[in-house]
Amino acid sequence: TAHGAATAATERPHGAQHTAAAFAAVYGAAPTGTWAAPGRVNLIGEHTDYNDGFVMPFALPHTFLAAASARTDGVLRLHSGGADGGIVELRIDALRPAPQGGWAAYPAGVVWAMREAGLPVGGADLHYDSTVPTGAGLSSSAALEVVTALALNDLYALGQEPQQLARLAQRAENAFVGVPCGIMDQTAAACCTEGHALFLDTRDLTRRQIPFDLAGEGLRLLVVDTRVKHELGDGAYAERRAGCERGARALGVRALRDVPYAHLPEALAGLADDPVTRATVRHIVTENHRVEEVVALLDAGRTRAIGPLLTAGHASLRDDFKISCRELDLAVDTANAAGALGARMTGGGFGGSAIVLVEEADAPAVGAAVTGAFAAAGHAAPRIFEAVPSAGAHRVE
């Protein structure tokens, strides 16, 4: 199928050997090792992770690769195969959090967060290659942070568990880069396992790997990258986050996770004079409930039955949380009309990607319908590929 070909073409254009060879060309010696961390899609549980709620991402086969060696002089050198501008050279004792542009802030922030945590990390040379689409809502930033954290963890024998590396990566993004994200994306990059979705409670960080063998069940999960660029740093994300905190305060709870689904009608009645906060609360409480319903269905082996919950989640993000856009709505509506089992936007919103659950036999027609609808509406062609639940961060060589 067309999307199958797209997957094959984008998954591994480089590979670890290419990345190690590129490192040697840039720095003049072979690297000590090469590490990988994946992008993700979120199956269900959107904007719940900063409300102490539930999420269920899985890892994509698309990864950030880092070839790396330690240095003894406290210098950090960063080079990316995908970015212009040569080597970025920094002194690790001079790293300071500041709103800063550019890709190098993410790995530099990880080194800063490790030093802040008192970990004995030193300098390093790193070269990166990536097959994770950027700005597509597929967590390329978290993949970059986590692959850096894992490489340094191994090079300096820091002894951090994957979830601790995810925490350090989130701290880098929150405090150094200045994006107020939750813990979902970094945990997905660090902790996902092949063939599973990761059910994560973001309050206590307990997690469960839920078997999610789409191919084995004759299903496909398509990613539709709308190519509408989303930007987490643009203020809308922080605004939604503040709205959730306002809701929790108004309801007298620590976080919106503490509003039981069964008490939603009373909670909403108490917010009758504030329609924006009311809709915000309704999204978070119903979304947490949808995650629990999806988990119950997957545990019962009823994968096809999650489709309507995905679509309901999209409606909630569109109508209550107000973070969808025309292209995402078109992808979801067209896919469903063409016979998908369910579809929703995934990730932070305002662009990026949608996911579509579909019978294997219907995948080509559904993909073609979405492509056709985008052309008819005058939108740029979407990039459609298949998402196969893949491994979390690991050492490659």
Task: Provide the annotated active-site residues.
Answer: 185
Q: How many C-beta neighbours within 10 Å does residue 372 have?
A: 12
Please report, as residue ranges, which positions from 81 to 140 form the binding site for ligand GAF (by CB under 6 A).
none
Contact range with ligand GAF by CB under 6 A, out of 156-164, 176-184, 215-223, 314-322 = 176-184
| Residue 182 phi, psi dihedral angles, 5° rounding | -85, -160
Q: Which is nearer to ligand GAF, 315 or 365 (CB)?
A: 315
- Distance between CA 144 and CA 63 in Å, rounded? 9
Specify the 3-state DSSP secondary structure of 103.
coil
Specify the 3-state DSSP secondary structure of 121.
coil
38 binds ligand GAF (CB under 6 A): no
**Tokens (6 digits) for 88:** 């970025």
207 binds ligand GAF (CB under 6 A): no
The single residue among 11, 36, 37, 49 that binds ligand GAF, judged by CB under 6 A, is 49
181 binds ligand GAF (CB under 6 A): yes
CB of 306 to ligand GAF, least distance (A): 17
Q: CB under 8 Å to 113, separation ≥6 — which residues? A: 168, 169, 171, 172, 175, 176
Contact range with ligand GAF by CB under 6 A, out of 65-73, 180-188, 329-337, 385-393 = 180-188
Contact 6, 388 (CB under 8 A): no
CB of 290 to ligand GAF, least distance (A): 13
Contact range with ligand GAF by CB under 6 A, out of 39-47, 86-94, 334-342, 367-375 = 39-47
CB of 47 to ligand GAF, least distance (A): 5
245 is an annotated ligand-binding site residue: no
CA triple 92-95-101, angle to 5 deg: 125
47 is an annotated ligand-binding site residue: yes
**Which has the closest alpha carbon to 42: 165, 181, 174, 236?**
181
Q: What is the dihedral of CA 158, 16, 140, 381, to 10 degrees?
A: -170
61 binds ligand GAF (CB under 6 A): no
What does each C-alpha distance from 373 to 333, 366, 383 come to in angstroms? Answer: 10, 11, 13
Q: CB under 8 Å to 204, separation ≥6 — which residues? A: none
- Distance between CA 138 and CA 141 in Å, rounded? 9
140 is an annotated ligand-binding site residue: yes
DSSP assignment letter at 86: -
CB of 251 to ligand GAF, least distance (A): 20
Q: Which is nearer to ligand GAF, 28 or 101 (CB)?
A: 101
**Tokens (6 digits) for 89:** 């050279």
171 binds ligand GAF (CB under 6 A): no
Which helix (H) or strand (E) element contains residue 297?
A: helix 275-299
Q: Which is nearer to ligand GAF, 23 or 54 (CB)?
A: 54
Draw the binding track, 223-252, toward ligand GAF (x: CB under 6 A; -: no contact): ---------x--------------------
The single residue among 61, 97, 133, 348 that binds ligand GAF, judged by CB under 6 A, is 348
Number of residues that bind ligand GAF (CB under 6 A): 12
139 is an annotated ligand-binding site residue: yes
DSSP assignment letter at 380: P
237 is an annotated ligand-binding site residue: yes
CB-count burial class (<10 Å; 0-12, 13-18, 19+) for 206:
exposed
Residues contributing to the annotated binding site for substrate? 46-49, 237
Residues contributing to the annotated binding site? 46-49, 80, 135-141, 173, 237
Binding residues (CB under 6 A) for ligand GAF: these are 42, 46-47, 49-50, 181-182, 184-185, 232, 347-348
Binding residues for Mg(2+): 141, 173
